[in-house]
Amino acid sequence: MKNIIKIIPVLILFISLSCNKGIEPGEPTGPFGFSGKVTFVGKWPAGIKRTHIVVFKNEIKKVEDFFNYFSFIVDSIPNGAKEFKYNSIDNPFNPNIKLTPGIYSYVVVAQSKTPEITLIRSDWNVVGVYCINGDQNKPKPLIINQGQITTDVNITVDFNNPPPQPPM
């Protein structure tokens, strides 16, 4: 009996470690996403097959980051458009590509000359950046909160003044 009494504190210690319930249900949420408009300035380049708003988790510092940090893509913008208003909930490129709440450091408008969508860096040309005070060298983080639509995620694409290109 003495031996049993000795091991009881050990058992209590172990069991007390599991006294919280572990995984808990998340808070109920409504829809979340982002919206805004893209304004195009200048003449569209020739041969463009696709123009999309593309969201990356982090800035692209290496070629492979283009794939690794890719997070979301809005539906294709019609060729030759002057202005495109969008909402990530209503205009996803593919409903299976989903955002989650969080901070996304690099949001761009990118164009491709390939008919099929790829995540190969060399297939894309960045033509506009969601940025701070219009300075395309300073990307503005996109913050998406649970149950909220982040508005005014506006990007200006000036074909005459292209932004710096990530490594290719």
Partner 1 sequence: MKFLIKFILVYFFIVSINYSQNTFKGKIINQKGEPVLGASVIVLGSSSGTSADENGFFVLSNIKENIIDIQISAVGYEKRIIKNVQPQKQINVILNEISILTNQIVVTAGKFEQNIQDLTVSTVVLSPEIIKKKNYITLDELLRNIAGIQMNLEQVSIRGSSGYSKGAGARVLVAINGLPIYSGDNGDIVWEMIPTNDIDRIEIIKGPASSLYGSSAIGGVINIITKTNTKNALTNFRNYIGFYDKPAYEVWDWSKSYRKFFGTELTHSNSSDKLGYTFSIKKFDNDSYRQSDFYKRILGYTKLNYNFNENDNITFFANYLNQNRGNFLYWKDSRNALVPKDEENGNTVKSNRLFTGIVYHNVFDNNLSADFKASYYKTKFTGYGVEITTSTADLFRTEAIANYKYNDKMFFTGGIEFSTANISSNIFKNPSFYGGAGYFQLEFHQIKNLIATFGTRFDLMKLDTLNVKSAITPRLGLNYKIDNNLVLRSSIGTGFRAPTPSEVFTTAGVGGGVDVIENPNLTYETSLSFETGLNYSVSNQYLLDAAFYQTDYNNFIEPNLTKEGDIQFINLPKARIQGFEFLFDWKITDELKINGGYNYMWARDLNKKIAMKYRPKNSFNFSARYTPSQFEFGIDYRFSSKVEEIDNALVQPPLALVTDGEKRVPVFVTDLLFGYNFFIMNIPTKIFFNVKNLLNYNYVEFIGNIAPIRNFTLSLEFYF
Please pick, from the candidates 38, 53, 55, 126, the single residue that binds partner 1 as defined by CB under 8 A: 55
- Distance between CA atoms of 119 and 128, rounded to whole angstroms? 18
- In the set 9, 25, 30, 115, which binds partner 1 (CB under 8 A)? 25
With contact defined as beta carbons under 8 Å apart, do 110 and 52 qualify?
Answer: yes
Binding of residue 98 to partner 1 (CB under 8 A): yes
CB hemisphere CA count around 29 (13 angstroms)? 14
Dihedral sign for Cα 91, 97, 103, 108, please.
negative
Please tell me whether residue 22 binds partner 1 under the rule CB under 8 A.
yes
Segment interacting with partner 1 (CB under 8 A) among 19-27, 45-53, 145-153, 155-163: 19-27
Q: If we measure between CA atoms, which residue out of 40, 119, 30 comes closest to residue 73?
A: 119
Secondary structure of residue 158 in the 3-state scheme: strand
Q: How far is the CB of 67 from partner 1 (least distance, A)?
A: 5
Interface residue with partner 1 among 39, 49, 57, 149 (CB under 8 A) is 57
Q: Which listed range, 14-22, 77-85, 106-114, 132-140, lies at the site for partner 1 (CB under 8 A)?
A: 14-22
- What does residue 137 show for φ and ψ, rounded to 5 degrees? -85, -10
Q: Does residue 120 interact with partner 1 by CB under 8 A?
A: yes
Q: Minimum distance between the CB of residue 66 and partner 1, rounded to whole angstroms?
A: 9
